[in-house]
Amino acid sequence: MLDSRQRAEWKTKDAWRALRILSEFVEGFDTLADLPPAVSVFGSARSKVDSPECEMAERLGAALAHAGYAVITGGGPGVMEAANKGANEAGGLSVGLGIELPFEQGINEWVDMGIDFRYFFARKTMFVKYAQAFVVLPGGFGTMDELFEALTLVQTGKVTRFPVVLMGSAYWRGLLAWLRETMAAESKIGPADLELMLVTDDVDEAVRHIVQADAALAAEQEALKSSAQSSSSPETGR
Ligand SMILES: C/C(=C\CNc1ncnc2c1ncn2[C@@H]1O[C@H](COP(=O)(O)O)[C@@H](O)[C@H]1O)CO
């Protein structure tokens, strides 16, 4: 950890830390390489099992599994556990990318495929790289970090055709109003940036939106492949 009380130790330990960081990327890439299409689901670690957001997350996990998606979460309690439970019970693949924390509780019992990370940034790479979309339910700082990371990547074109769905519209209302009335009004984001998120309380609408974006991406990739083939040499086909 970057504990400034132990600043003197950084000098000797940072070189070895780089290897540990590299090993987290290697383990993540290696474990997740064969993952089927997946959706990352985020939300509060503190939500109670019987909260509306956990109930929604459980239904979402099941619906994503039925649509053929693996469900990736942070592997923790609350909304994460509920989404993993829904996916697991519906017969889908339930993935947990856990994080070592001082008050760690371990990966939840509904995870079929789990990896533990020490570094948030290595773990965040996996959430984006191996998912077709993000669904974000009510949460705190951790959830906001994951939401704004995704929005930044989409806004800057680092990822394309990547749906970001916000569920629990009442929870998001204040933030969305601030984004519109302050952030966009003061030109810190463009009007199109507000369109990067779908806000819904309907699990089926969320899943439909993801499936449609996936289909559009597949069509785009197919068109690119055909145009590359038709512009290649007719003799060799290359
Ligand atoms: C707070 C408690 C346990 C924390 N355990 C976590 N395990 C896994 N992932 C976590 C944990 N806490 C935060 N995260 C990540 O951030 C998001 C939730 O954070 P929030 O601040 O609660 O919104 C979540 O999506 C995780 O990726 C004890 O209850």
At the topology level, CATH places domain 19-211 in Rossmann fold (3.40.50)
Residue 238: band (very low, low, confident or very high) from pLDDT cuts 50, 70, 90: very low
Locate tokens 């009335």: which residue? 181
Which tens digit of pLDDT belongs to each residue from 32-41? 999 999 999 9
As a whole number of angstroms, the distance between CA 20 and CA 121 comes to: 13
Residue 237: band (very low, low, confident or very high) from pLDDT cuts 50, 70, 90: very low
> How far is CA 103 from each of CA 76, 164, 166, 193, rounded to the nearest angstrom?
11, 29, 28, 36
Which tens digit of pLDDT belongs to each residue from 116-152? 999 999 999 999 999 999 999 999 999 999 999 999 9
58 Cβ closer than 6 Å to some ligand 1 atom: no
Q: What's the CA-to-centroid distance between 45 and ligand 1, angstroms? A: 4
What tokens were used for 140? 């705190």
As a whole number of angstroms, the distance between CA 238 and CA 236 comes to: 5
What pLDDT score does 235 carry? 53
The three-class DSSP label of residue 71 is strand
Residue 68 identity (one-letter amino acid): G
How high is the mean pLDDT of the chain? 92
Q: What percent of the chain has pLDDT over 90?
A: 80
Q: What's the CA-to-centroid distance between 78 and ligand 1, angstroms? A: 8
ipTM entry: 0.92
69-97 mean pLDDT: 98
Mutate which of 41, 46, 60, 79 for ligand 1? The one with the most ligand atoms within 8 Å of its CB, which is: 46
